[in-house]
A and B are shown apart, each in its own frame.
Chain A
Amino acid sequence: MRTERSEADRHADAIVARGLVKRFGEVVAVDHVDLTVARAQVYGFLGPNGSGKSTTIRMLCGLLLPSEGQIDVLGCKIPQQAEALKRRIGYMTQKFSLYDDLTVTENLEFVAAVHEFDRARTRRRIGELLERYWLGKLKNQLAGTLSGGQKQRLALAAAVLHEPELLLLDEPTSAVDPQSRREFWDSLFALVDAGTTILVSTHYMDEAERCHRLAILDHGRLVADGTPQALEAALPGEVLLVDCANPRDAQRVLQPLPGVAALAQIGASLRVLTEDRGGQRERIAAALREAGIDAKVEAVRPNLEDVFVSATRMSAAAAPDRAAA
């Protein structure tokens, strides 16, 4: 099958979506989202709960019918060609969706049979997967008795069993400890090295940081899109770190100050995100001095959390206009 596809198709983007809208009655879950996902990359969806991440992923793999918009995944028009696409994608649901009352091997055997693997190929592939995802010792254990991290490895093994070109992961690490999360991401990069495209939704900043490219979703809208570095560089405001004896006093002073977008206490210091650039450090330092607080203010490199806060704040500010229009 792989050889049949044209050269142009292979180099085309894995996912192209334009003007994607999903309404559930009155509620607009996804609001005019445009997406372009290049092949062999990890593309991240960052957003709070209810921002439309899951709904978008479900529309992309044909599980939900979009209310509006065009979707092209691996050259297939969705939803018309969704059935043909299903052989070429792997989907890992947010909630564990394999069978609790089947063993690890039985679950994988079932998935292999669903993909029409013959006996020899099934045995070979399951052997590979058990080893790669450290499931060998657990192979005769019921899936329902596995730990969160083990379940997630099994789910990933099931999703990649048929070697899909595109892997869609819906908050795969939400029920997993940090160590398992790191291992899981190592597995994802191994898949990308082998040419797989991965779309992953998350609400962890450290995970978003690891993506090749990132889209930030908020209330169903795409509020930012780019590489983590580009997004950090394009931050409209400045990020300042205020070091003082009592950060809570500084917070009280800076809270009502115009031009301050967000404040967050980080240990003994206060992280300040401003709305604009230029001379912000001096302005903040002056405000603190006026209030009689002795503080050291320095500019720091923005991180993704700053980008996220800034993007979702701006989208919230823009919301009334949209509602009016």
Chain B
Amino acid sequence: MNLRRLFSIVMKELRQLRRDRLTFAMIIGIPTMQLLLFGYAINMDVRHLPAAVLDQAHTAQSREVVAVLAQAQVMDFAYTLESPQQIDTLLRAGTISAALVIPPDFERRLYETDRPPLQIVVDGSDQIVQQAARQLSALPVQALLNPGAAAAPATNVEVVNFYNPERRAPVNTVPGLIGVILTMTMVLFTAMALVRERERGNLEFLIATPVSPAELTLGKVLPFVGIGLMQVTVVLVLGVLIFHVPIRGSLLDIYGASLAFIIASLSLGIFLSTLARTQFQAMQMAFFTFLPQILLSGFMFPFAGMPKLAQWLAEIFPMTHFMRLIRGILLRSATLAELWRELLALAVFCTIVLGIAILRTRKRLD
């Protein structure tokens, strides 16, 4: 390993990158576009479900409970019903997704713990609606309706605080998005950059010179470490400005975790470049590794809900571990030291994948 040669390759890459407008645009464009896309469009946050109220009690408290639940904004009580049969009709027609039923003996039930005071009938065919209703039903109705009038406004605020962080999707999505963007760009760009040299015939000239494969690979990959950190910054800044994502942990830990993940993704890219013959093949392979990572890492679906086999598989992927790292640090103010297991997993991944890549690299054409 000769440092001057390594540096010369880094310089060359940067010069080429500067002229490659498309790649350069993608480096900033991909994070921005994805952030807006995932942040706004793919929103699992359920609000304003069309709903109906069947108030059979007709008391001051029953009207108050409707008002409180309406404040949560999960359901819009657009319909006031007179009979239970109407619920069935409206649900079947798809006019409403849920209905709140207040039984005639509502006030007595409030003080008797053996029977629930409220009932929410939901269209169970949509799991997200079901989940929303279940969370709504967890509202501490008794506490809210406590006769102590002074306590009422305070508990109302409490409802909002308790639910809102859970119900705003971007808070969970944006940290995960850092992982998605890094996986996509780091793996793809490195694999393609390394294969490009071979495809364009530059490699044939280079291997007749004293350049070693390690110098060439490292020199081509190093600029991407900087680019990756730049992308992390773009997502963080936009996440905070647009989606008000909290940064609860330390910035140093965030960049430390990102760096570990960038190195893991670059290793994967280097490995793919030893398998691919053309840039197109490299691109296909990068997408092949990208999909399972995005689906199983916990970015899209909760990790706990996946079958065991999928969980084991997910443990292999660097993105799974990064997802835990970045969410832990950003949202729960965890430190890298506390999350050492995830760092270790990334280190093991890098060692194995890079090891195989080195074994596969030869400084020859055949």
Residues of A within 8 A of B (CB): 24, 58, 61-65, 79, 83, 86-87, 89-91, 93, 95-102, 106, 109-111, 113-116, 142, 158, 168
Interface hits, B80-127 → A, CB 8 Å: none
Question: Cβ of B202 < 8 Å from any Cβ of A?
Answer: yes
Residues of A within 8 A of B2 (CB): 116
**Given A58-B365, A86-B210, A116-B2 in contact, is the A99-B201 Cβ separation under 8 Å?**
no
6 A-B pairs whose Cβ atoms sit less than 8 Å apart in the complex: A63-B208, A65-B366, A99-B202, A101-B19, A106-B12, A115-B209
Contact between A86 and B208, CB atoms less than 8 A apart: yes
Q: How large is the interface on B (under 10, 10 to 19, 20 to 34, 35 or more residues)?
A: 20 to 34
CB distance from A270 to the nearest CB of B (A): 43
Contact status B208-A65, CB under 8 Å: no
Known contacts A110-B8, A111-B209: does B16 contact A96 (CB below 8 Å)? no
> From B2, which residue of chain A is reached at the shortest CB distance?
A116
- How far, in angstroms, from A93 to B206 measured CA to CA in the complex? 10
- Which positions in B face A, CB cutoff 8 Å? 2, 4-5, 7-9, 11-12, 15-16, 19-20, 200-211, 364-366
For A24, A101, A109, the residue with the greatest tally of chain B CB atoms inside 10 Å of its CB is: A101
Taking CB atoms, residues of chain A closer than 8 Å to B204 are 63, 93, 95, 97
Is there contact, CB below 8 Å, between B205 and A98? yes
Tell me whether A91 and B208 are in contact (CB under 8 A): yes
Known: A61-B208, A95-B201. A113 touches B8 (CB 8 A): yes
CA distance A65 to B364 in the complex (A): 8
B12 cross-chain contacts in A, Cβ below 8 A: 99, 102, 106, 110
When C-beta atoms are compared, the residue in chain B nearest to A168 turns out to be: B208
Tell me the bound Cα distance from A62 to B206 in angstroms: 12
Across the A-B interface, give the 7 residue pairs with the lowest CB-CB distance, nearest first. Answer: A113-B8, A97-B205, A91-B208, A97-B201, A95-B201, A101-B19, A110-B12
Q: How far is the CA of A89 from the CA of B5 in the complex (A)?
A: 18
Measured in the bound complex, the distance between the Cα atoms of B195 and A74 in whole Å is: 32
Question: Which residues of B are found within 8 Å of A90, using beta-carbon distances?
Answer: 208
Structural contact, A101 and B205, CB atoms closer than 8 A: no
Between A97, A98, A100, A114, the greatest number of chain B beta carbons within 10 A of the residue's beta carbon is seen for: A114
Which B residues lie within 8 Å of A98 (CB)?
202, 205
Among candidates A58, A61, A63, A113, residue contacting B5 with C-beta atoms closer than 8 Å: A113
Contact of B16 among A65, A83, A101 (CB under 8 A): A101
B215 (CB) vs chain A CBs: closest residue: A114
Q: Which one of A83, A86, A142 has the highest number of Cβ atoms from chain B below 10 Å of its Cβ?
A: A86
The distance in angstroms between the C-alpha atoms of A91 and B331, with both chains bound, is 56
Q: How far is the CB of A97 from chain B (nearest CB, A)?
A: 4
* Among A86, A96, A106, A168, contact of B209 (Cβ-Cβ < 8 Å): A86
Q: Cβ of A109: which chain B residues have Cβ within 8 Å of it?
A: 8
- Chain A residues with CB below 8 A from B203, complex form: 97
Chain B residues within 8 Å of A58, by CB? 365
Q: Are A106 and B366 in contact (CB under 8 A)?
A: no
A93, A158, A168 interface centre (most CB from chain B within 10 Å): A93
Chain A residues near B207 (CB, 8 Å)?
63
Bound CA span A95–B365, Å? 15
